[in-house]
Structure 1
């Protein structure tokens, strides 16, 4: 193929791959155009692999993340009249060392008037418990589409949908990890989808540098309020036994804040067995697990401050503890 009839997508691979002195990152507009072509199926497989690896190797810039997220959002098919969502809470990592106690934090919020939409992937890494399976163990239904999720939100203030059902193409690209041997930008960008346009987003990352990248990308996207922190296992779950630095966007202003340790112990407990049945036992009170409760309360506190329901760390933690103490122990709001 000569340059006069080269593939339209080749320009984006060339920008990224011309070597250490001539290559550069893509602008937000270039990334949006490139990713839009990918999601429309207008690129060759070899181009897609090259693009994903080139972006991954140099690490995504906030502008690239924003452009990628805009294109991904444009590709989603949304319900005609979705209910308003207060908090978007992505869950893309899965848990391998500790049960996903953050799910009880999210359901506690839903029980107290906060509409929470959760989305994520499953099965990409062996030995992990993913959100869909954990919710099913709690008796919380998993939506099979954004339309069904809208119904769950209206009925229960909580919904979870898998990326495979929300965007098969994005799910397919995440699945290329098994072919390329590398994570790719979709693993990062999927957390930013916020399909229902919630004014608050609660993000967890595995690697600290991504806090800054997500924060700046959220500002570029016009996200009003965001909290992103290094969470346990890469999920938005606070480790209460140690300080937690949270990068925030508050009414468009960027900042960071350090939450002091909350737990009564400084030790870190890893679960020998990820028995999802323990989630329900802790919710109902059948299991008195003080360490789990610390995780639930500490994580809910970050969300409550993000939502503007508390002005300080201490107020947020006190409120979260009271909501947990007075919860309906029969079943969380999201349970069928």
Structure 2
């Protein structure tokens, strides 16, 4: 997409609003994202495309092309394990409630399932940004919690592989995945809205081999779109309404847990619609220190893991092939946690 007329034509096709915009075909979309990732698009074009896709939305075929372009331009993690690793994208952070995604990750690693998290770096990119649609001030990010908990982040795919073997959990900052991807995400600061790249980071696989995707969505229409995406890809995934955009279940009330397994979408657990009988034990505030103290209490058995997170962990234990079914997953989790449900 280096010719000016080609870019003009392409932008004209995708920027005609919801009713009249065209979807790009797979080859066009894949080349577009690869060129964007490498910084080969003019700045004006990047801004126009970012906004156009925010309005138009992406077709499943465009999402597939974008994700494949990213996967072909990163160094894949050559990880070998008897279980399929879980992928937790973590870019939003939380402010109203505690960020319990690191706790869910450590719950799974204790049960023998490797987990890769990726997102902004600690002390980091997001704190310095002022977004019109998403104020990062006061938000607690997974990288900060893991750092406070004493877990090192990886600087590249080789280190991510090593940490997965050593501690079962690895955090890979977005710039270590691909510098161009970090630059693309930073466009949000200038343009004030999210766009396709915030969806793509939930979809791509940074491993050489198949893994289990865990995707949290904010807007209900994306539940269906992501289910269709993983179905088309024949991928294994858990899709849910996230907590403030992070891919862990609301600890007070379980959302629908949608699963895609070998291309077949299934609603494994329906959302909890009953009245809350008892408030689960949660951190006294969303701060990093309070969250880490709470994580220690849960991991040491002094406090129970909230039941919605238990249910999410059970699903992921099955999807990772660590456990054959939900009953064996319950026994396995109970073996590793003396108190595992609120």
Q: Normalising by structure 1, what TM-score?
A: 0.84
| Equivalent position of 2:289 in the other structure | 277
CA offsets, 1:201-243, max 9 Å, x none? 11111222212112212233332x1111002111121124334
Alignment partner of 1:218 is 2:230:
yes
Shift of 1:12: 2.1
Alignment partner of 1:208 is 2:206:
no
Is the CA contact (8 Å cut-off) linking 1:208 and 1:229 kept in structure 2?
Answer: no
Q: Distance in 2 between matches of 1:184 and 1:112?
A: 35
Q: Distance in 2 between matches of 1:297 and 1:137?
A: 24
Shift of 1:271: 6.1
Q: Distance in 2 between matches of 1:89 and 1:297?
A: 16
Q: Measured at CA, do residues 159 and 131 of structure 1 come closer, stay the same or move farther in structure 2, by a change above 3 Å? A: same
Is the CA contact (8 Å cut-off) linking 2:213 and 2:238 kept in structure 1?
Answer: yes
Shift of 1:71: 0.9
Q: Distance in 1 between matches of 2:23 and 2:176?
A: 31
CA offsets, 1:278-312, max 9 Å, x none? 3443344379445x544542332231233342534
Q: Secondary structure of 2:118's partner?
A: strand
Alignment partner of 1:168 is 2:179:
yes
Of 190-199 and 39-48, deviating more is: 190-199
| Equivalent position of 2:189 in the other structure | 178
Q: Measured at CA, do residues 130 and 263 of structure 1 come closer, stay the same or move farther in structure 2, by a change above 3 Å? A: farther
Instruction: For 1:188-203, list aligned pairs within 5 A.
Output: 188-196=199-207, 197-203=209-215
Shift of 1:183: 0.7
Instruction: For 1:45-124, list aligned pairs within 5 A.
Output: 45-78=43-76, 81-84=78-81, 85-121=84-120, 123=126
CA offsets, 1:49-83, max 9 Å, x none? 1111111112222222111111111111235x444
Instruction: For 1:145-160, list aligned pairs within 5 A.
Output: 145-160=156-171
Shift of 1:13: 1.0
| Equivalent position of 1:238 in the other structure | 249
Q: Measured at CA, do residues 88 and 248 of structure 1 come closer, stay the same or move farther in structure 2, by a change above 3 Å? A: same
Q: Distance in 2 between matches of 1:306 and 1:87?
A: 9
Structure 1: state its 5+ residue gaps: 328-336
Q: Distance in 1 between matches of 2:49 and 2:280?
A: 39
Which residue of the other structure, out of 311, 315, 320, is the alignment partner of 2:333?
320
Is the CA contact (8 Å cut-off) linking 1:298 and 1:320 kept in structure 2?
Answer: no
Shift of 1:46: 0.5
Q: Normalising by structure 2, what TM-score?
A: 0.82
Shift of 1:161: 0.8
Q: Distance in 2 between matches of 1:306 and 1:265?
A: 30
CA offsets, 1:141-197, max 9 Å, x none? 111222211110122221011112211111111111111111111111111122014
| Equivalent position of 1:130 in the other structure | 141
Q: Distance in 1 between matches of 2:47 and 2:166?
A: 41
Q: Measured at CA, do residues 302 and 200 of structure 1 come closer, stay the same or move farther in structure 2, by a change above 3 Å? A: same
Q: Secondary structure of 1:233's partner?
A: coil
| Equivalent position of 2:325 in the other structure | 311
Of 141-150 and 15-24, deviating more is: 15-24
Could you say what the CA RMSD is over the residues aligned between the two structures, in angstroms?
2.9
Q: Distance in 1 between matches of 2:23 and 2:151?
A: 42
**Across the two proteins, how many residue pairs are aligned to each other?**
319
Q: Distance in 1 between matches of 2:103 and 2:44?
A: 42
Q: Distance in 1 between matches of 2:283 and 2:230?
A: 34
